Chains A and B, each alone.
Chain A
């Protein structure tokens, strides 16, 4: 890999990082929103580094073949700093291809169906805040919070409350009903965990479509943690466009 190719690869990589953070919200499909300034920073550094490398190389070319000869000799006896890159560096173009040519969507029903769902956690001493809502309005909750509460809130504060959840549809191949699911992400899509509730009183909408549902938690008769998937009784549901940030 010659010097100008290295400069071009770095520039393209930087442009890819900048375009999916500044020009669009594509990065939210892959990483936490908090990463944005860091990715922008890395993109700027890469572009500056790449453009500098290109300019230096072109300047050297203008000085003529003699100067290049001399430069090459100066470096041949040592290692190859700034000289010729290894072939493996061509792989740096793959993320560029992924961002521009494939632009993969956020993980959805395919992953949610294959991943293990987050199971009840052993957090006995966790205490919860009061459920807050405007009078006459349902309680707006993240699916992750709903599932955690359903499993661990021994006071059962959610019972009888009108709750609003947003997520995408995942089929339930094993039995009745379908899942409303949402992927929870700590850092990037590689660590996504699925949270889901089972809905049985409405016919299943198409997979991967996004819905906001209002309804209530079906309070289990036995212990909270004996249940594999908590149920949600839907009173009203509306289809929504994909939310800007698909993960919680």
Chain B
């Protein structure tokens, strides 16, 4: 069983790491506190800055809104707003659940609930994914909260991968989108759970704690539970939320830029079509509760290609990569994402070949 981060294990510096600062490093945004400079003026400046921002928003609302007429830009803005707005409740829910796990559930509970042996803990965590009724935006902060509480990273990551793909809401949506073909629901469940569990096992065997960039859970021992809850929620929202916006920007851009005709042109090629729909799932970053409807509309493609869309999408996509980078760091994403992608594809081909 891999031990969890001792806290002092910094990952080796890497190109990507410099892009995702802010977990363990001291703040560079403010002068060190030992300067003894009063902070009053800085706080006042912040408030003024926001006042100006709000005035600018009001002015733009009155003058600018009707003058924006570029259709491509507006379509992009609509999709970006849609992704952000739709993800917001899931993000807030996930962050709140994660904060509740941190603040209210004692560490001893997890030690009892999750088997010590990680070969056993991984499938248990994968099956537990079936009970979180949300999409990927909720599962990342929850997995972060689990790791903070001492759950083996491999088990928490299995939960992260399985939850958005196999929870009841998603399975029902899949059944609704594919009327008359329940084998699609079964195939999605098996391929997603299989890939998640195998990723967990591989991570348990080869994963290093240093790859995960987690904050140390050293709250003031005298802080009240509610304060821990509030601060951990705010902290997670700042990190995951910012990266969620990055993912939303990328997904909206590709949604507008990639013409569907290009995609449909390759629908008849057996292996390529599967890879193309997997790539499309990564780029579009559609919420796992809605992706079945989009997959069903891609009627030119084979069932296995659609399965790839349904299995890869909830586990690897731009929005999710950005969220993971914000929560666990780039050093983690660089290793975890290719591994997940490879296994989701393998399971898609195997399950699709047998069942569909």
Binding site for B on A (CB under 8 A): 1-2, 4-6, 8-10, 12-13, 17, 20, 27, 29-31, 35, 38-39, 41-43, 45-46, 49, 52-53, 57, 61, 65, 68-69, 72-74, 76, 78-107, 109-111, 114-116, 118-123, 125-126, 186-191, 193
Judge if B264 is at the interface, Cβ distance under 8 Å. Answer: yes
Q: 8 A-B contacts, Cβ less than 8 Å apart? A: A5-B50, A61-B39, A85-B22, A90-B242, A95-B245, A107-B75, A107-B79, A190-B284
Taking a contact as CB atoms under 8 Å apart, the answer to whether B238 and A86 are in contact is yes
Taking a contact as CB atoms under 8 Å apart, the answer to whether A49 and B234 are in contact is yes
Judge if B26 is at the interface, Cβ distance under 8 Å. Answer: yes
Taking a contact as CB atoms under 8 Å apart, the answer to whether B85 and A102 are in contact is no
Taking a contact as CB atoms under 8 Å apart, the answer to whether B78 and A88 are in contact is no
Closest B residue to A106 by beta carbon equals B78
Shortest CB distance B339–A (Å): 25
Chain A residues with CB under 8 Å of B264's CB are: 116
Q: Which of chain B's residues 138-177 have a Cβ closer than 8 Å to chain A?
A: 173, 177
Taking a contact as CB atoms under 8 Å apart, the answer to whether A103 and B238 are in contact is no
CA distance in complex: A140, B179 (Å): 24
On whether A123 and B86 interact (CB within 8 A), knowing A6-B234, A46-B92, A95-B245, the answer reads no
Q: Which of A8, A81, A92, A125 contacts B50 (CB 8 A)?
A: A8
Chain A residues with CB under 8 Å of B232's CB are: 81
Shortest CB distance A1–B (Å): 7
Taking a contact as CB atoms under 8 Å apart, the answer to whether B249 and A85 are in contact is no
Taking a contact as CB atoms under 8 Å apart, the answer to whether A187 and B287 are in contact is yes
Shortest CB distance B90–A (Å): 8
Chain A residues with CB under 8 Å of B22's CB are: 80, 84-88
Judge if B53 is at the interface, Cβ distance under 8 Å. Answer: yes
Judge if B42 is at the interface, Cβ distance under 8 Å. Answer: yes
Closest A residue to B87 by beta carbon equals A188
Q: Which of B47, B60, B249 contacts A101 (CB 8 A)?
A: B60
CA distance in complex: A95, B263 (Å): 29
CA distance in complex: A119, B299 (Å): 6
On whether A88 and B246 interact (CB within 8 A), knowing A30-B81, A42-B88, A79-B24, the answer reads yes
CA distance in complex: A122, B36 (Å): 72
Interface stretch of the complex, out of B109-117, B211-219, B343-351: B211-219
Taking a contact as CB atoms under 8 Å apart, the answer to whether A125 and B180 are in contact is yes
Taking a contact as CB atoms under 8 Å apart, the answer to whether A88 and B326 are in contact is yes
Taking a contact as CB atoms under 8 Å apart, the answer to whether A52 and B230 are in contact is yes
CA distance in complex: A48, B290 (Å): 29
Closest A residue to B61 by beta carbon equals A100
Chain A residues with CB under 8 Å of B27's CB are: 80, 83-84
Shortest CB distance B143–A (Å): 18
On whether A98 and B246 interact (CB within 8 A), knowing A111-B75, A186-B294, the answer reads no
Chain B residues with CB under 8 Å of A52's CB are: 230
Interface stretch of the complex, out of B124-132, B195-203, B254-262, B268-276: B254-262
Taking a contact as CB atoms under 8 Å apart, the answer to whether A98 and B77 are in contact is yes
Q: Which of B71, B86, B231 contacts A188 (CB 8 A)?
A: B86
The 3 closest A-B pairs by CB, nearest first: A187-B290, A88-B242, A86-B22
Q: Which of A89, A102, A193 contacts B297 (CB 8 A)?
A: A193
Judge if B311 is at the interface, Cβ distance under 8 Å. Answer: no
On whether A61 and B40 interact (CB within 8 A), knowing A83-B27, A95-B245, the answer reads yes
Judge if B205 is at the interface, Cβ distance under 8 Å. Answer: no
Taking a contact as CB atoms under 8 Å apart, the answer to whether B241 and A89 are in contact is yes
Q: Which of B38, B259, B286 contacts A65 (CB 8 A)?
A: B38
Taking a contact as CB atoms under 8 Å apart, the answer to whether A2 and B36 are in contact is no
Closest A residue to B245 by beta carbon equals A91
On whether A35 and B239 interact (CB within 8 A), knowing A49-B234, A88-B246, A95-B245, the answer reads no
Taking a contact as CB atoms under 8 Å apart, the answer to whether B82 and A94 are in contact is no
Judge if B336 is at the interface, Cβ distance under 8 Å. Answer: no
Taking a contact as CB atoms under 8 Å apart, the answer to whether B242 and A92 are in contact is yes
Chain A residues with CB under 8 Å of B29's CB are: 1-2, 84, 87
**Which among B21, B33, B42 has the highest number of chain A CB atoms within 10 Å?**
B33
**Which among B53, B79, B231 has the highest number of chain A CB atoms within 10 Å?**
B79
CA distance in complex: A12, B221 (Å): 32
CA distance in complex: A43, B93 (Å): 11
On whether A100 and B57 interact (CB within 8 A), knowing A1-B29, A92-B245, A190-B284, the answer reads yes
Q: Which of chain B's residues 1-38 have a Cβ closer than 8 Å to chain A?
A: 20-24, 26-27, 29-30, 33, 36, 38
**Which among B78, B218, B230 has the highest number of chain A CB atoms within 10 Å?**
B78
Chain A residues with CB under 8 Å of B81's CB are: 29-30, 95, 98-99, 102, 104, 189
Judge if B68 is at the interface, Cβ distance under 8 Å. Answer: yes
Shortest CB distance B249–A (Å): 7
Taking a contact as CB atoms under 8 Å apart, the answer to whether A79 and B23 are in contact is yes
Taking a contact as CB atoms under 8 Å apart, the answer to whether A91 and B242 are in contact is yes
On whether A2 and B85 interact (CB within 8 A), knowing A78-B216, A84-B27, the answer reads no
Chain A residues with CB under 8 Å of B219's CB are: 81
Closest A residue to B66 by beta carbon equals A103
Shortest CB distance B231–A (Å): 4
CA distance in complex: A157, B261 (Å): 32
CA distance in complex: A2, B39 (Å): 10
Chain B residues with CB under 8 Å of A65's CB are: 38-40
CA distance in complex: A68, B37 (Å): 11
Taking a contact as CB atoms under 8 Å apart, the answer to whether A38 and B89 are in contact is yes
Taking a contact as CB atoms under 8 Å apart, the answer to whether A49 and B230 are in contact is yes
Chain B residues with CB under 8 Å of A94's CB are: 80, 84, 245, 249
**Interface 0/1 of B215-256, CB less than 8 Å to A:** 110111000000000111111011101110110110110010
